[in-house]
Structure 1
Amino acid sequence: MPPNRPLLLIVDDDSLVSESLSFAFAQEYDVITSHARAHALTLLRQLRQAPQLALVDLGLPPLPHRPDEGFALISDLLTLSPDMKIIVLSGQSDESNARHARTLGAIDFVAKPCDPSHLSKLLGQAQRFGKETPDTRAGGLIGESLSMQRLRLQLGQYANLPYPVLIEGESGSGKDIVASHYLHRQTERRDQPYLALNCAAISPTLLEPTLFGYAKGAFTGATSAKSGYFEDADHGTLFLDEIGELPLDLQPKLLRVLENGEYQRVGETQTRVSTARIVAATNRDLRQEIKAGRFRADLFHRLSVFTVAVPPLRDTGLDRLLLLEHFRKGYAASVRAEPFELAAPAQSLWLDYAFPGNVRELRNIVIRLSARYPGQTVSASQLRDELDQPDTIEPATSTAGLIADDLDVVKRAARQHLERSSPINLDATLELWQRGYIEAAIELSAGNMSEAARRLGINRTTLYNRMEIWTRR
């Protein structure tokens, strides 16, 4: 058997599919199979290392004819292992499902019945992408928008302080890069250990010994004493990702470490002291978790001595072009291929798209375009196939040529929207247009709210009031 073969997870409730794919890939991969979302997550939490690759069926029980469980599993797997490459399998070749799966972080979508040779090619590409595609980790966060400049300024102020930092942000926005690059590599602790633990990736019963270590005989299987993350981090940095997943009964022990550095290995009475700096991250609203009784208020206040928010990609304006260039040119150079180009309408579409999956989604889109159109010019229609925007107005009738006071143009855009998507949610559509104008005005005004209000023909108080409505929703 070849050593260190990649681990491949196959999740499909059809045993015939799982068995045939396992047989097809047994020579290239170490394969583990599962039939359902809950079972797959249980399996993964028992592994020492998460699979690098996954084939996931969308139609999983208890609703095998709907994609809900498959979508949820994609999010779960990327929470457990953000670098996992997921290819989605589906018996329904619904393009809207394909787009949404990609938005969640899947790198590709394959309709059943699956050709094993085609899947083998995709899996091989996925491995290569993981090794050779340029990442933002080496150079930190990419972007020159006001929100990114503000974030880097905050991080520069907090970097060398010994106090905890809580990083908030949506999935795929780059919280791990903030922790590793700005709060460790660019600090006085850079020569000390940097350890990262995903609190969602480990069974709740194993989290305590993993964090604090354990004594010999502390539990079945503890044949020797072992140090935990707090001890191994020494004078360095301990990054606790997905801190909102920390079990409630373990939270007081973490609070104790934050307050005075003290902890005990499982099965020991000896008190040890940690000098590691704690950085935590979450994509949950911990204030709401406190209200729901799932997170301790005192722990939240200790973790959030300093809080930074990583902005979603939709709020960073032209930064999405800088990221496009970074990934596009870097990937092409790594595989010795010509980079693709975006045609002018495609570039407008790129700037209009909200990227709900943030930088992870943008990176996966660039990977697919690089593989499919090396050295070619990508059209708007080709790009649109990669985006999750089933209910948007066609670009030709939206930002291209739409004049706010031209009723005929507006009516034409509305008619095409209604023909494609009827019935619509009128309130949500009008709010989307309003928000788009406001965000565009703020970007054009370089963050000057008085200037943005002038462009919109309203006073600054009205502008703030309308923006406040979004934050309450």
Structure 2
Amino acid sequence: MTSQKSILDIALALAHVNPNKNDFSDLLSCISEWIHCDAVALLIKQGETLKPVAQRGLSQDTLGRRFEINEHPRLFEICRSTQPLKFAKECELPDPYDGLLQSREGDFPVHACMGLPLYSQQQDSQLLAVLTFDSLNEYAFDDVPHTQLTQLMQLVAAHVETLLTVQHYQQHAQHNHQLAQQLNLEALTREGVEIIGNSHCMQILKNDIQLVAASEFSVLIQGDTGVGKELVARNIHLNSKRREQPLIHLNCASLPENLAESEFFGHSKGAFTGAHSTRQGKFQLADGGTLFLDEIGELPLAMQSKLLRVLQSGEVQTVGEDQSRYVDVRVIAATNRDLKQEVAEGRFRADLYHRLRVYPLNVPALKERENDVILLAGFFVEQTARKLAIKQLKLGIDTQILLRQYDWPGNVRELEHVISRAALKAKQQQWQQKIITIEPQHCDIEKRATNTHTTTQLINTNTSSLSLKEATDAFSYQMIMQQLEQHNLNWAATARTLKVDRANLVRLAKRLGINVKKSL
């Protein structure tokens, strides 16, 4: 039995069903207003199985069932049909819903059954789903005209196909988003994000990073070339709530002035000569994440004012378009220039400087980091050994002293390159040895002290460029390292030879950056 609604009313109702809801319940509500029955169900075809995705009038466990088409004769007949199918009252084929109707207590069999096969209108008439109707009234569907059922079948098939397509694209987009997040995290962590160093100034920096990362403040990272400003920026991003969103890098020093605005904000097709296609800018790509502006001190003044506008309003305007759009971007900037001096000399905008410098971070030079040079050298030695396929690579004692005494004008980056070159030279000279040792002659750096092996030679070394504390530490470092090697890394024996208390010796060694690890 049908209601007074026409098939046109059903079509209009279906047109207002939101396809983004990812729910077929509204579809069944529209159909139930036109065809009265005790149960209606929509089952999506997945291979040789029908999966219920929406139902009205059946027990709740129905949605958890999976119907093998070949095991249910009535469903099999509906799937092989191309037209609406009404089963005869005397049909002896078992009904998959027998005993599942909610309208009656007890296991009453279904008396009237009808099914609509739903075929794709785009994919070579592929069967998408089936729509089933059941009633305890054996005459319930007798008055439903076949032509109207055919029209309903086509309408519902088109609607189901639309919903399935939307679901497919949403799942695909979600998968791509999750994949992009994973690739982004892998790319950020591939080269390591740990900040190596136990010196006091580095402990302060690490604490500041943890503190500011949890906020949404703009950060200005200042420090000499090669100190690791980009590593600090990565740590801030990975410890923030934006860690699963992109970290976009833009080097302001490499921007041609005529293309800077396009790099920042993107451009539309035909916006200028050479703009053959639409392109998103770095702000659009970083939406929801973090934008790292390296060498911000090199940014032209004209571009500084446009950047300031975005930081103030959060709106960007693509080159060649009139409309603006809002972006949610956290900005981290870095520079090796003294921006305060640049502001005083008119080369950097004061308002932009203060907008970026909400939370300033200063990365110390390597020469200010006490004994961190040996820790970093060990890190780079291990990295280089993997790259050069060296089973065991180590630093000689004299090499460690040399590295500690060097000024490192190029900071951490210079140390990394020195270790890489030295390892390559050492491998070439010691290729027959199981353990390859980097010696001072492999390090192409300017020596501040002659490499020696005896106390007398060390005292007679030219130490005019060293402070008393540096010279004392260097001497103590060499003596402890020599005795540890002679006594097979035994602290007690080393302490007896040097005639000091063992606990005091361990504390002194720790301050000098000497760590002994024994492994089996």
TM class by shorter chain equals 0.5 to 0.7
Match of 1:115 in 2: none
Partner of 2:231: 177
Q: 1:156 aligns with which of 194, 207, 210?
A: 210
- 2:296 maps to what in 1? 243
Query: Which residue of 1 is the match for residue 369 of structure 2?
Result: 316
- Give CA-to-partner distance per residue, 1:219-246, whole Å, 9 cap, x none: 1112333221111111100000000111
Structure 1: which 5+ residue stretches go unaligned?
1-134, 404-408, 418-428, 441-473
Q: Which residue of 2 aligns with 1:252?
A: 305
- The equivalent position to 2:450 in structure 1, one of 360, 370, 394, is 394
The number of residues matched between the two structures is 280
Alignment correspondent of 2:350: 297
Q: What CA distance in whole angstroms lies between the structure 2 residues aligned with 1:434 and 1:290?
A: 39
Contact map agreement 1:212 1:227 (CA 8 A) in 2: yes
Q: CA contact under 8 A between 1:142 and 1:323: conserved in structure 2?
A: yes
Larger RCO (CA under 8 A, 6+ residues apart): 1
Q: CA deviation at 1:365?
A: 1.2
User: Given that residues 253 and 263 in structure 1 are in contact (C-alpha distance below 8 angstroms), is that contact kept between their aligned partners in structure 2?
Assistant: no
The alignment status of 1:288 with 2:341, answered yes or no, reads yes
Offset from partner CA, 1:30-64 (integer Å, 9 cap, x none) = xxxxxxxxxxxxxxxxxxxxxxxxxxxxxxxxxxx
Distance 1:156 1:340, change over 3 A: same
1:379 to 427, 439, 443: 439
Relative distance call for 1:207 and 1:436 in structure 2 (3 A) is farther
* 8 A contact 1:340–1:369 mirrored in 2: no
Residue pair 1:397, 1:413 contacting (<8 A) in 2 also: no
Counterpart-to-counterpart distance in 1, 2:204 and 2:455: 28
Distance 1:213 1:439, change over 3 A: farther
- The DSSP-based 3-state class of the residue aligned with 2:204 is helix
Residue of structure 1 equivalent to 2:287: 234
**Separation in 2 of the partners of 1:303 and 1:321?**
34
Does 2:387 align with 1:331?
A: no
Question: How far apart, in 2, do the equivalents of 1:190 and 1:167 lie?
Answer: 19
- The structure-2 alpha-carbon separation of the partners of 1:229 and 1:353, relative to structure 1 and needing over 3 Å to count, comes to same
The code of the aligned residue for 2:269 comes to K
Distance in 2 between the 1:395 and 1:371 partners? 21
* C-alpha spacing 1:295/1:436, structure 2 compared with 1 (3 Å): farther
Match of 2:200 in 1: 146
1:437-456 counterparts in 2 under 5 A?
A: none
Computed over aligned residues only, the root mean square deviation of the Cα atoms, in angstroms, reads 2.9
Unaligned runs of 5+ in 2: 1-188, 428-434, 475-520
Q: Counterpart of 1:158 in 2: which secondary structure?
A: helix
Q: What letter is aligned with 1:387? A: I
Partners of 2:255 and 2:453 lie apart in 1 by: 48
Change (3 A) 1:330 1:216: closer
What is residue 417 of structure 2 aligned with on the other side? 364
> In structure 2, do the counterparts of structure 1 residues 354 and 221 end up closer, same or farther at CA, with 3 Å as the change threshold?
same
Change in Cα spacing, 1:337 to 1:396, as seen in structure 2 (3 Å) is closer
Shift of 1:399: 10
* Paired residues for 1:26-37 under 5 Å: none
* TM superposition shift of 1:378: 3.2
How far 1:342 sits from its partner (Å)? 2.7
Shift of 1:159: 0.3
SS at match of 1:188: coil
Matched, 1:168 2:222: yes
Looking at CA atoms only, which structure, 1 or 2, has the larger radius of gyration? Answer: 2
Q: Identity of aligned pairs, percent?
A: 42
Determine the structure 2 residue equivalent to 1:205: 258
Classify the secondary structure of the residue corresponding to 2:254: coil
Separation (CA, whole Å) in 1 of partners of 2:469 and 2:302 = 42
Aligned to 1:193: 246
